[in-house]
Amino acid sequence: MSLETPMHRVQGFGSAHSGTQHFWRQRITAVALIPLSIWFGVSALGLVGARETDVLNFFHHPWNAGLMGMFVVIMLIHMMIGLQSVIDDYVYTAGWKLVCLLLNRAFALVIGVACLLALLQIAL
């Protein structure tokens, strides 16, 4: 017999027993990506046909390098959360689920580190 009320036992837990934190992280990253995607699209269109030195000069500016770094990091977090939902929903074997979740995080980490190191190299 538990002293917890039924509401307290289920509060904040969904079918994956992880609460609403996953849901809100996905939504917050989506909202953060709206202005960053607009900036990225406008910047990419402005650099169409530009020489390599023009692109390097564009990212040499700290403001542009910082925005690009934020875009990459937030996009990878958003991607990782979305793929985790797909893996949780459609991979049924515990071993494969663990492997897929680890590969998901490793991929995001490797790509994120590579992009940020390249941006740092350009900016400095």
Place of tokens 């027993």: 17
- What lies within 8 Å, CB to CB, of 13 at 6+ separation is 19
| pTM check: above 0.75 | yes
CATH number of 30-123: 1.20.1300.10
What is the pLDDT tens value at each position of the chain, 124 positions in all? 666 666 666 665 555 555 578 889 999 999 999 999 999 999 999 999 999 999 999 999 999 999 999 999 999 999 999 999 999 999 999 999 999 999 999 999 999 999 999 999 998 8
Task: Give pLDDT, residue 116.
Answer: 96
Question: In this structure, how many other beta carbons lie within 10 angstroms of the beta carbon of residue 78?
Answer: 19
